[in-house]
Amino acid sequence: MSLAFVVGTGRCGSTMLSRVLNTHPDVLSVSECWNILRYTDDQGKDQLPTRPMSGEEFWRELDRPDTRLDAMLRSGMKSDEDFYPYGRGRFDLVSGTPRIARLLAATSDDPDALYDRFADQVPTWPTRPVMAHARAFFTEFAAGLGRSVTVERTGGGLVFLPVLRAHFPEARYVFLYRDGVDSAVSMSRHPAFRFAALRELARVAGTQELAGLPSSADVAAVRPEDIESLINPPFDRERFMAYPIPPAYFGWSWASQIRPGAAEMATVPHPLWTTMRYENLLREPRAELARLAGFLAVPAREQWLERSAAFIDGGRTRSARSRLHPAAFTELRGVCASGAQAFEALEALEAEHAAAVKFPQ
């Protein structure tokens, strides 16, 4: 099995790309695997566990419900990353939906059957590092569906690039990038990213951690006690979505991921990485997907290209910025500038290598 990862900042088009890849007969696209395993350390940073686990322990990680997401969905805050067939499947939002069931639903019309298969198999696996379990999971999943390439994508997964490189040194990486302003505005309207922002703002309120943010005065005025009532179930959808988070915060978050992510990607040996602009994918889906197929060493089948091009909505390009007040747009663009420069430098580096790139077989 060949393995690749799509990494980006979140709200960069990776869900759409994952859905397209899953329609290719040779590709298994696994969604949000790292969001199942991720945890937040004492400094508020997202991490992935790497310690040894038994098969039973690993299955418990996969099988535990996401009670916060269940509660958010019950309140009416829908997620476009959640494909589980509520009402038809065996799990529901009251008793709890296992995280693994949501992952499987992004790939199969019968996620419960896949769930049963892994529920029988995974607990019997030997004790080994978490990433070895993840590799085994990818291998078994792809083999069961007759796919030769597995592509994992997790929203915001760029932050995990160093640990992924350490544990999957042979993997290929697609750095998916979207205009920073559009990404930030999309984050500001997405419940999961608003939740993460509110949690972080409550943590840094009264500190100097975001002192360089243009809207730092608004951040300093945040009262943690007000946020606590917003980020704990039961959720009040209207209050949660209306809480005034400065748009510049999301731009700061985007840029703070892009800068180290681009620097880390530049150290990956060619030809194991490539970049992809979301806007280019919307404008020229056939050309971009054919290029991606070559990078993944799978055929760019004509039927797949035609079907995928019809699915991709080119009208989304730069649609978010039209919703901002001009002053807010100017501020947000300034906050995003350093991230955009970092990505442009990475693209220039890729262009230097383009003539010499030979995709691995």
Q: Please give the pLDDT value at position 265.
A: 93
Q: Please give the pLDDT value at position 357.
A: 47
Q: Please give the pLDDT value at position 349.
A: 86
With beta carbons less than 8 A apart as the criterion, state whether 126 and 56 touch.
Answer: no
243-270 tens-digit pLDDT: 888 888 899 899 999 999 999 999 999 8
Q: Please give the pLDDT value at position 302.
A: 97
Q: Please give the pLDDT value at position 215.
A: 66
Please give the CATH topology (third level) of the domain spanning 2-182+252-354: Rossmann fold (3.40.50)
For the ranges 29-33, 117-121, 189-193, 213-217, which has the lowest average pLDDT? Answer: 213-217
Q: Please give the pLDDT value at position 216.
A: 65
Q: SS in 3 state form for the chain?
A: CEEEEEECCCCCCHHHHHHHHHCCCCEEEEECHHHHHCEECCCCCEECCCCEECHHHHHHHHHCECHHHHHHHHCCCCCCCCCCCCCCCCCECCCECEHHHHHHHCCCCCHHHHHHHHHHHHHHCCCEEHHHHHHHHHHHHHHHHCCCEEEEECCCHHHHHHHHHHHCCCCEEEEEECCHHHHHHHHHCCHHHHHHHHHHHHHHCCCCCCCCCCCHHHHHCCCHHHHHCCCCCCCCHHHHHHCCCCHHHHHHHHHHHHHHHHHHHCCCCCCCEEEEEHHHHHHCHHHHHHHHHHHHCCCCCHHHHHHHHHHCCHHHCCCCHHHCCHHHHHHHHHHHHHHHHHHHHHHHHHHHHHCCCCCCC
State the pLDDT confidence band at 360, using cuts at 50, 70 and 90: very low
pLDDT at 22 over 80: yes
Q: Please give the pLDDT value at position 222.
A: 74
Mean pLDDT over each residue of the chain, to the nearest integer: 90
State the pLDDT confidence band at 358, using cuts at 50, 70 and 90: very low
122-147 tens-digit pLDDT: 999 999 999 999 999 999 999 999 99
State the pLDDT confidence band at 361, using cuts at 50, 70 and 90: very low
199-242 tens-digit pLDDT: 888 887 767 676 666 666 666 677 788 888 899 999 999 999 99
Q: Please give the pLDDT value at position 10.
A: 85
Q: Please give the pLDDT value at position 359.
A: 39
For residue 176, give Cα distances in angstroms to 40, 149, 179, 265, 296.
24, 18, 10, 11, 14
Q: What is the mean predicted confidence (pLDDT) over 55-59?
A: 98
How far apart CA 13 and CA 283 sit, in angstroms, is 13
Give first-to-last CA distance, the chain, whole Å.
11
277-336 tens-digit pLDDT: 999 999 999 999 999 999 999 999 999 999 999 999 765 666 666 778 888 899 899 999
98-111 tens-digit pLDDT: 999 999 999 999 99
65-75 tens-digit pLDDT: 999 999 999 99
Q: Please give the pLDDT value at position 104.
A: 97
Q: Where are the domains of the chain?
A: 2-182+252-354, 195-244
